Structure 1
């Protein structure tokens, strides 16, 4: 069944892949994109709306004639001790409220919203967690991503096209019935193949045409890492007494070490059952696609 899709944040990393997945359906659906800026090279088959999620009238205007909205927009994560909290909340919270309200006013029956697995993170290991996992009483940085590991902790690395594919599946399932079991549900979406961090990093490095020499890999114990992080935090606190925090970059912290050295992967059985989701691009293929794309866009590196 064809839809008139509006992809909010359609100029972003995930949003562009959602647009590609809708196109791949070749079912007669039309595509509109709502974003903060116009693309440098607009596509002829897409209607573009430039606007601000924080402005309700901008959002409502873009909803005209739309039957399905996929909302992927979010500010990028800023690795800073002084993150733009007001910006995050004005877009991720207030902006999303505008989207919901506009869908209701415009009579749009289908809305799919992207979130983050980090919203249920406490800094403790997350082993095969499912959608019943409760939100913690105090949220850590919702944009924090595990970036390193000790190679015994498993992590879920996911090809972006698979996530985009699942968004479109959700929209299609919602269209089948007003009482669809998909309605109001949250879904974990990953490649379903958790691997140790350094195994993944080595594969990326190898695909790039390099080999990761073992002599350059330094493995620190958890306790040693925590001591270094404590020293780093102390240095930052001393600097903060004399300099504006907005000008300082936070270094290694104990919370980041704790998260980085913990397993973090998710159970995707619910998405498989209700959405019919299976990753369409495997991890190895995803690495090849990602590295090739990086080489094309960064020819000098």
Structure 2
């Protein structure tokens, strides 16, 4: 991507893992970068980075951050995984109202480009999708098994609908597009990988589930950075606003079984890969029970669920997408990566084979088998009213 040196980019959620990697890449190419986030960056920040502390739920703070910006990368969101998925109020406020605030500020302050970081989940709700493309309809909102996916759908719809909005300073119109990434990985990723490693080290990762033939996708952080830069460039007049009003699936383009994808991480840290395979229906039932328990005790003890129902679908049900549109319209060419860097990153921080945790793993397996027994018993009970 070739930026004009005068381009100024605002990244909402810019202090998160992906946002900061995007910021660093843009900076190396000569762009001016503003990070907008609720917390300061934990990494070392170059002197000419600008950090604006703020909350996208507060319009005045968004307005201040957007002033003088050429392009916004709207990455900030809430509720992607774990117990966050169960906080409906905050998910709605950040993902829907926050996006409305960003769109309004762009129109009022003359920002001509907006790239929105969406998700595969806008079309996926547990049904099998093989080599799907962007012609797939949005999943009906009431069918989303979690608030995050539903609100990301609403936000993406709003972003694409805003394409062509007249800018209030009379300089032209707002051009928007949306990228729908697969699960992000890379060295230093802080949301999913540490949770997976903690399960491995505690002895909880003793089983896999779903069919061995089920396929999902991932995207390396640097491929996702490249896709965002290309999408922003394709919104410019020089590129005939090619990506304006469009959505694109983004991944490494290599469908793989979810658990086989993580095999190098498990074995690289010195642990045996699980041989026990459980039916996905059992794991889904366990996740459902966990969510019900969280609903009851969450206000007093906000524990981290092992898995939510959405996470069971995302990891155990086949869904992968064609990169044809992204390649044709954005010139997106995903590079090949593996988990070697990720394994090395964890090893450098003292992770690796431990002897503790086997009792926790056994306890969890026992709990799963109890759930299976209960499910079987319930299936024999008469249905009320039959």
Cross-structure match for 1:63:
66
Structure-to-structure mapping, 1:86-97, within 5 angstroms: 86-97=89-100
Cross-structure match for 1:164:
225
- Following the alignment from structure 1 to structure 2, what is the Cα–Cα distance between the partners of residues 16 and 234? 36
Report the CA distance shift for 1:231/1:69 in structure 2 as closer, same or farther (over 3 A).
closer
RMSD over aligned Cα atoms:
3.0
Structure-to-structure mapping, 1:21-36, within 5 angstroms: 21-24=25-28, 26=29, 28-36=30-38
User: Could you tell me how far 1:54 is from its partner in structure 2?
Assistant: 0.8
2:276 to 218, 223, 226: 218
Q: What TM-score, normalized by structure 2, do the two folds share?
A: 0.66
User: Could you tell me how far 1:140 is from its partner in structure 2?
Assistant: 2.0
Which stretch of the first structure deviates more once superposed, 53-62 or 38-47? 38-47
- Following the alignment from structure 1 to structure 2, what is the Cα–Cα distance between the partners of residues 90 and 172? 30
- Following the alignment from structure 1 to structure 2, what is the Cα–Cα distance between the partners of residues 17 and 81? 23
User: Could you tell me how far 1:21 is from its partner in structure 2?
Assistant: 2.2
Which stretch of the first structure deviates more once superposed, 43-52 or 185-194? 43-52
Q: What TM-score, normalized by structure 1, do the two folds share?
A: 0.83
The count of residues paired between Structure 1 and Structure 2 equals 287
Report the CA distance shift for 1:289/1:176 in structure 2 as closer, same or farther (over 3 A).
farther
The SS at the match of 1:283 is coil
2:255 to 194, 205, 228: 194
Report the CA distance shift for 1:184/1:162 in structure 2 as closer, same or farther (over 3 A).
same
- Following the alignment from structure 2 to structure 1, what is the Cα–Cα distance between the partners of residues 87 and 327? 36
Moved over 6 A (4+): 144-147, 251-255
- Following the alignment from structure 1 to structure 2, what is the Cα–Cα distance between the partners of residues 7 and 235? 35
Cross-structure match for 1:152:
213
2:322 to 260, 267, 274: 267
User: Could you tell me how far 1:130 is from its partner in structure 2?
Assistant: 1.0
The SS at the match of 1:165 is helix
Unaligned runs of 5+ in 1: none
**Aligned partners of 1:34 and 1:51 also within 8 Å:** yes
2:145 to 133, 140, 153: 140
User: Could you tell me how far 1:264 is from its partner in structure 2?
Assistant: 1.6
Structure-to-structure mapping, 1:11-50, within 5 angstroms: 11-24=15-28, 26=29, 28-40=30-42, 41-50=44-53
- Following the alignment from structure 2 to structure 1, what is the Cα–Cα distance between the partners of residues 250 and 133? 10
Cross-structure match for 2:205:
none
